[in-house]
Amino acid sequence: MAEPTQTWLTQEAFDRLNGELEQLSVAGRKEIAARIEAAREEGDLKENGGYHAAKDEQGKMEARIRDLEELLKHVVVGEAPQASGVVEIGTVVTATIFGDEERFLLGNRELANGSDLDVYSAESPLGAAILGRKVGDEVSYSAPTGKEIAVKIVAVDTYAG
């Protein structure tokens, strides 16, 4: 089994995710259990839409709790790395891809919550291809379809949040 990768987050993102985990783990579980119990008391569970909806919501909530626990278990909290012209996790990259200039954050989607930036993980084909590259470097990566995609690093900026 592969080792889990560490995820870099700002203190603000870490606090927000930790708060969400706490809320879901305590109040969220109590609330959904009460809704399931109330729906159960209505009788026949086969045709009880409220019961099935509550059970579906419970499944989604438990999956989110597991995701947050795993993410926070392997997190590194700190300030965004200062851009030095090298693509690092936590930097904003401007690159030419298929002739179009794109600007995105290399990191975890949870970091950019509320931002209009696209986010690519360092483990994605694009992220793995550009990690450690410098402004001006040209690389290519294989898309899931097998097509080779050329990328040119145009700029690397510090993530401002």
Task: State the Cα angle at 14 between 28 and 68, rounded to 5°.
Answer: 45
- Determine contact, residues 96/149, Cβ cutoff 8 Å: no
Q: Report the run of H or E that residue 148 belongs to, with start and end.
A: strand 148-158
Q: Which residues contact 141 (CB under 8 A, 6 or more apart)?
A: 125, 126, 128, 129, 148, 149, 151
Confidence of residue 6 (pLDDT cuts 50, 70, 90): low
| Per-residue pLDDT reduced to its tens digit, 101-125 | 999 998 887 776 767 888 898 888 9
Separation between Cα atoms, residue 94 and residue 101, nearest integer Å: 7
Confidence of residue 1 (pLDDT cuts 50, 70, 90): very low
Confidence of residue 90 (pLDDT cuts 50, 70, 90): confident
Separation between Cα atoms, residue 158 and residue 91, nearest integer Å: 5
The mean per-residue pLDDT over the stretch 52-57 comes to 89
The mean per-residue pLDDT over the stretch 65-77 comes to 87
The sign one gets for the Cα dihedral 149, 154, 158, 161 is: negative
